[in-house]
């Protein structure tokens, strides 16, 4: 039996681990196939407080993990196949590939959200080399350069407007001839002189040289004609998918799958089950906000455990 198990090792999960380990709660952290979360796919992070010259994403995550380990947090690699929360009271059971069944008094879900990708040639291998899924994170690096935003929803319009603060030109590429974004968001983008449009065009390949992105190959959906749009950066804004499928709808979510929590806390609808980071945040999705909710989840879990009967936690992995 574990006191508390944390699922995920992004900024939220690692911050929760640091706080709980310092409180002698001996957290067990289960890390999946991408330890460190989305920041391990980035290069330099310049907007995380405390790093004057910036810090590499993988380095930041590695340091947070070492900090948690310093206070006694335990890490295990495994894929959580299912979680049994049907009793709505602890202990809760997790089936983890490679580790078997784990029982825990409290559970913190920080499994994040995965950016939806186009799955076209040149895309994944150029993430961090000109391909990005976060304008707020990476827009600064494209000051005075030409960039492309792929998408037609509110997020794409918002990111396009944001990027005009840095880029000399922002081109919106959308495979439909019309946009899904709300009228007010469309109007803002259309009124921005730095934004140009390539509608009804399907991206088919990201082009790059040895060091960076150079262009995007698109196909005109009406004529079938292909063309290359020269660019210094490509921002993919077609949405995110919260990583919650393994919960099998046992925890309340919104219509798009993000876990809902009680206002002002990280408590889900299941007692002793908490959610933090991007898995419950469809709005901000920043490392610093994820870390903040990780702190909240740790404090919520600690208070929950202190207010409930103590079980035998001597049996550990």
Given 138, 232, 278, 281, which residue is catalytic?
138
- Would the pLDDT of 163 be above 90? yes
Backbone angles phi, psi at 108, to 5 degrees: -110, 120
pLDDT at 196 over 90: yes
* Residue 137: active-site member: yes
- 111 contacts: CB under 8 Å, gap ≥ 6: 7, 8, 32, 242, 243, 244, 246, 277, 279
pLDDT, position 183: 92
pLDDT at 135: 87
Where along the chain do its domains lie? 2-114+240-306, 117-236
Q: How far apart are CA 267 and CA 58, in angstroms?
A: 29
* Cβ-based burial of 144 (10 A; exposed 0-12, middle 13-18, buried ≥19): exposed
- Give pLDDT, residue 3: 95
Cα(131)–Cα(208) distance, rounded to whole angstroms? Answer: 10
Q: Which of 134, 232, 281, 300 is catalytic?
A: 134
- Alpha carbons 265 and 273: distance in angstroms, whole number: 11
Write phi, then psi, for 95 (nearest 5 degrees): -100, 110
Whether 96 shows a pLDDT value over 60: the answer reads yes
Evaluate if residue 312 carries a pLDDT over 70: no
* pLDDT digits 0-9 by tens, 182-195: 899 999 999 999 99
Quick one: pLDDT at residue 297?
Answer: 98
Q: What is the mean pLDDT of residues 146-155?
A: 94
Helices (H), the chain: 11-22, 57-70, 135-138, 154-163, 183-191, 287-306
> Mean pLDDT across the stretch 277-304?
94
User: Residue 47 — very low, low, confident or very high, per pLDDT cuts 50/70/90?
Assistant: confident
What was the pLDDT predicted at 119? 94
Could you tell me the pLDDT band of residue 122, with boundaries at 50, 70 and 90? Answer: very high
Give the lowest-confidence range in 84-88, 118-122, 187-191, 248-252: 84-88
How high is the pLDDT of residue 88? 83
pLDDT band at 43 (very low <50, low <70, confident <90, very high): low
d(CA 202, CA 219): 5
Q: Which of 62, 84, 137, 154 is catalytic?
A: 137
State the pLDDT at residue 41. Answer: 59
**Residue 254 appears among annotated catalytic residues:** no
Tens-digit pLDDT profile for residues 201-244: 999 999 999 999 999 999 999 999 999 999 999 999 998 889 99
| Percentage, residues of the chain above pLDDT 70 | 94
Superfamily of structural domain 117-236? FAD/NAD(P)-binding domain (3.50.50.60)
Task: For domain 2-114+240-306, give the CATH superfamily.
Answer: FAD/NAD(P)-binding domain (3.50.50.60)
pLDDT tens figures, 18-35: 999 999 999 999 997 666
- Tell me whether residue 300 is one of the annotated catalytic residues: no
What percentage of residues in the chain have a pLDDT greater than 90? 76
């Amino acid at each position: 039996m574990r006191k508390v198990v944390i699922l995920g090792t992004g900024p939220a999960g690692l911050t929760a681990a640091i706080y709980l380990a310092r409180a002698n709660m001996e957290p067990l952290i289960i890390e999946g196939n991408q330890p460190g979360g989305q920041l391990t796919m980035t290069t330099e992070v310049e907007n995380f407080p405390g790093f004057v010259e910036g810090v590499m994403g993988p380095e930041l995550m590695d340091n947070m993990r070492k900090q948690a380990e310093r206070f006694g947090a335990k890490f295990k690699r495994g894929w959580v196949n299912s979680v049994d929360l049907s009793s709505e009271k602890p202990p809760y059971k997790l089936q983890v590939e490679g580790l078997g069944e784990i029982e825990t008094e409290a559970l913190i879900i920080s499994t994040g959200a995965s950016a939806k990708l186009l799955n076209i040639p040149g895309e994944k291998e150029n993430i961090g080399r000109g391909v990005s899924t976060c304008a707020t994170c990476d827009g600064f690096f494209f000051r005075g350069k030409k960039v492309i935003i792929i998408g037609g929803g509110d997020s794409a319009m918002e990111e396009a407007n944001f990027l005009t603060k840095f880029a000399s030109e922002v081109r919106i590429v959308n495979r439909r001839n019309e946009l899904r974004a709300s009228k007010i968001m469309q109007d803002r983008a259309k009124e921005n002189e730095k934004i140009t449009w390539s509608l009804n065009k399907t991206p088919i390949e990201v082009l790059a040289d040895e060091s960076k992105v150079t262009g995007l190959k698109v196909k005109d959906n009406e004529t079938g004609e292909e063309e290359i749009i020269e660019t210094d950066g490509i921002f993919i804004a077609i949405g995110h998918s919260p990583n919650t499928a393994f919960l099998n709808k046992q925890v309340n979510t919104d219509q798009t799958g993000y876990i809902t929590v009680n206002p002002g806390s990280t408590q889900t609808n299941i007692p002793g089950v908490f959610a933090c980071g991007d898995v419950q945040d469809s709005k901000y999705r920043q490392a610093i906000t994820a870390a903040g909710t990780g702190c909240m989840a740790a404090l919520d879990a600690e208070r929950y455990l202190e207010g409930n009967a103590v079980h035998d936690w001597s049996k550990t992995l």
